[in-house]
């Protein structure tokens, strides 16, 4: 029987989940470089020894958070299309775990150690965008431009939506879609056609 005031020991999987959640919050406040293991331990309410029982290093912990965020995002949004529910699903995923979303799309690409992950995400998103946009935009530099810009603009739009208090969640997806259509329309205009109407 535990003594009065003693903390109950969590099962390993629950403790790991607690550490991941706390580390996600801590990293989202200060980024990878400026967050120490002591900050994470304090956030999780554990000691550094407990952290090291679950993760060999701060880098392993951060990469685990990013990998988990990628997996959850893929489950919610998918990985190969621009279906009608993709933007609402992206907004839902971001709203469910804003700290992980910010880490993945705002902070991780600033850290050299994690550029491989963010570069592969960007490349995959551009490939999906190119495949879908090629149905309406002729091959060439403007298709390349739109395929690179739309995924970046979309994730930046979602982060801006998070940063501004998630306004009008029922219309946010339509607003982001309108911005995407604006880029697509501009890229698909015939050469020499003006943009003003």
Residues 22-72 pLDDT 10s: 999 999 998 999 999 999 999 999 999 999 999 999 999 999 999 999 999
* Domain with 87 in it: 12-188
pTM of the model: 0.84
Q: Is residue 157 a part of any domain in this protein?
A: yes
CATH number at residue 146: 1.10.357.10
Total domains, the chain: 1
Cβ neighbourhood burial of 138 (10 Å; 0-12, 13-18, 19+)? exposed
Q: Is residue 1 a part of any domain in this protein?
A: no
pLDDT tens per residue, range 140-180 = 999 999 999 999 999 999 999 999 999 999 999 999 999 99
């Amino acid at each position: 029987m535990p003594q009065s005031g003693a903390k109950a020991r969590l099962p390993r999987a629950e403790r790991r989940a607690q550490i991941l959640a706390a580390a996600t919050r801590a990293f989202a406040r200060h980024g990878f470089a400026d967050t120490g293991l002591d900050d994470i331990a304090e956030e999780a309410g554990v000691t550094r020894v407990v952290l090291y029982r679950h993760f060999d290093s701060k880098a392993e912990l951060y990469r685990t958070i990013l990998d988990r965020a990628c997996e959850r995002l893929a489950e919610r949004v998918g990985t190969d299309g621009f279906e009608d529910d993709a933007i609402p699903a992206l907004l839902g995923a971001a709203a469910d775990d804003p700290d992980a979303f910010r880490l993945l799309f705002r902070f991780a690409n600033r850290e050299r150690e994690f550029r491989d992950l963010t570069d592969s995400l960007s490349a995959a998103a551009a490939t999906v965008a190119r495949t879908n946009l090629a149905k309406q935009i002729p091959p060439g530099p403007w298709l390349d431009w739109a395929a690179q810009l739309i995924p970046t603009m979309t994730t930046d739009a979602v982060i801006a939506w998070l940063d501004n208090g998630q306004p009008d969640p029922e219309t946010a997806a339509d607003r982001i879609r309108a911005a995407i259509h604006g880029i697509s329309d501009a890229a698909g205009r015939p050469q020499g056609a003006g943009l003003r109407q």
